[in-house]
Amino acid sequence: MKKYFLGLSSAYSAKDTLRHTFAFGGEFDLSELRAYLAAHYGATYDHVAVYANGRTALAVALKNTVKRGGKVVVTSLTCYAVVQAVRAAGCVPIFADVDPDKLHFGKKELENLLAKETNVQAVIVQNNLGIPADIEGIMEVANAHKLSVIEDLAHCVGRKYANGREVGTIGRAVVLSFGKGKSVDAVAGGAVVLTDPLDNPVKQPDMKPAFKDRFRVRFYPLFSAIVRGGYRLNNKLGKGLTAFFVKIHAIKKSADGDINQKIRPTYWQAKLALRQLQGISHRNKKPIRDYYLVNNRDNVLASLEKKGYIFHDIWYDTPVAPERYYSKSDFHPELCPIATKLATQIVNVPNWYKKDEIAPALSIIKQDLVDKDAISENELVVIDEEKEKEKAIKAEKKDFKKKMAEKVKEKKAKKQTEKLEKAGKADKVEKLARKLEKVKQKKAEKEAKAKKRVVKEKSRPERKITKAVQERRVEKLVEADIKTAEKMDERELNGEDSNYWWLEEAEHHQEEIKERETSNRPALNRVYAPSRVDTDESFLEETELEEVEEYEPVAGSTQLDRTMGQLGSLGPDKPDYRDDKKVIDRMTGMRVAPQKISEREMLKREIAAGERGEQNVI
């Protein structure tokens, strides 16, 4: 029987799998990807950076657009990676309920949330499953409240909003994910694009991933093909192969990952991502998945599995998925009742199969459809009784296994004592008896503690989650984030840690200034560009640099004026910008972002160069 899959790289053909497995690339491919993103989304080259995963890109976007401690609106149907990125940026995620037709919040839901919350500074627009959100309504509310809008294109690259604008062309920042199953699938990777030229440039990391991560990413489509082959023979075999690959860490579970601004993807991943981006407008006319709401999802999925449709990989089976991270998200279902209800009913259907192949699955799903109009904000969240029964059955099975294991241990202990008694080794028999007594005592202590916990939980009164309780929780989260950030800043300044890239960039900038001042040609601004290298990053050696002259001397101007451009009439500490149209990256042809410099700093440099008399500079 032919079988169909929702995840496990099922959208990969045999050709795609081979191309991914044997891909190679060079440093120029990464630069070309950054140049493409900058040109396509209207940014400068050094306002684009590519990282090892999408959550790091989102954290960088938030750090550059939102003040630390601010609140960020996130859709309640989302991945834990989004929550992780918001917290890593020192911000607090707050969840907005969704519209059942869009699987995303709109104008109404955003207004309701902002009426209750304060210190909201940004909104993340996610466009779940590639279904365009109500961007006009969201932008209207965001502009009224002066909120930064960040577009997350993980599901929706190449899609268009109802007003005809392409996704990624509206927000202050754009974030892309190249993770498995996304609209651009390179198994891992992500990018950030800052569209406001006044934002600080972002540093492109140059450290490649660890070998185990590169190995996992390169062979994931191949491992997935093996698992799919196992499912085609027998469902149990497929599940066993999946568990095996996860156990040996050949396959990483969904939403697992760290945030690290120092690691880039491999060059061949950048090459594959660019190839998909360049061709996405021709093939991405549909959402990456369709969705249906059913009354009894477990029964529907079981019926689909019998017919050969393995559709268990659902976005999103809990409001903040996956379920193992749900408790860490600080999500409260009573505040987002519609999303909580939808998460128990939603079923995903892939869009990469032919209509006749997917028709039998749709006929099964449509037999149990829910009426969307019946879903309202006042609807109570009903606990699924079948899930509770399943949990109880699993708990009973665990208890039974524990009891059987204990019986086996007791039998082994009896056999050992009998052997020792026959051999006449009384000392060893006593030692063994003491060990058994200690084990029994520890077991009794654990059981007593467990009983006390149960009694305390039952005697504890129910605590309603009021607005005041929510505000206290948010305050605690903000205080904790600020304290950790201050500690990390202190470690950074003391040279104990180098997680913050901006300190490294400042040092690099000072070195460039010294080089200009000691050069025989002080009026020249050097832009260094790596020459094209077509080999894989593991074989790269020192990158050749070519020197590009961008400025010519202007008669009658000072050294600083010739280097940075003519100065306007500025007050103290107001930033000046050099003419960014003249600063071109020779390799990519992209303009470089303007560099900010204060008048006080300019005065210091001119005094150091001897072009002004001695003055007191505070």
* 264-276 confidence digits (pLDDT tens): 999 999 999 999 9
Residues 592/45, Cβ–Cβ less than 8 Å: yes
Q: Percent of the chain scored above 70 by pLDDT? A: 70
Look at residue 77 and tell me whether its pLDDT is greater than 70. yes
Residues 181/265, Cβ–Cβ less than 8 Å: no
Cis before 316? omega within 30: yes
| Mean pLDDT, rounded, of the chain | 79
Q: What is the average per-residue pLDDT within 489-517?
A: 54
Helices (H), 424-500: 426-459, 467-493
Look at residue 599 and tell me whether its pLDDT is greater than 80. no
Pairing relationship of beta strands 148-152 and 120-125 according to DSSP bridges:
parallel
Helix axes 297-306, 355-366, angle to 10 degrees: 140
pLDDT at 391: 72
Look at residue 141 and tell me whether its pLDDT is greater than 50. yes
pLDDT digits (tens, 9 = 90+) for 232-253: 999 999 999 999 999 999 999 8
Residue 18 to residue 437: CA distance in whole angstroms? 60
pLDDT digits (tens, 9 = 90+) for 379-397: 434 444 555 667 777 778 8
Residues 121/92, Cβ–Cβ less than 8 Å: no
pLDDT at 469: 58
The length of the chain is 618
| Two structure tokens written together for 193 | 């694009």
Beta strands (DSSP E) in 222-368 are 289-293, 309-310, 320-321, 346-350
C-beta neighbour count of 375 within 10 angstroms: 16
DSSP state of 130: G
Residue 169's nearest CA partner among 125, 119, 229 is 125
pLDDT at 380: 39
Name the one residue in this structure whose structure tokens are 């060990």: 435
- Top mean pLDDT of 315-324, 392-401, 413-422 is at 315-324
Residue 576's nearest CA partner among 568, 587, 585 is 568
Residues 57/460, Cβ–Cβ less than 8 Å: no
Look at residue 283 and tell me whether its pLDDT is greater than 90. no
pLDDT digits (tens, 9 = 90+) for 512-525: 656 655 554 444 33
DSSP state of 75: E
pLDDT digits (tens, 9 = 90+) for 167-210: 999 999 999 999 999 999 999 999 999 999 888 999 999 999 99
Q: Using a cut of 0.85, tell me whether the model's pTM lies above it.
A: no
Look at residue 28 and tell me whether its pLDDT is greater than 80. yes
Residue 325 to residue 318: CA distance in whole angstroms? 10
Return the SS3 of 165.
Answer: coil
Confidence of residue 583 (pLDDT cuts 50, 70, 90): low
Q: Percent of the chain scored above 90 by pLDDT? A: 53
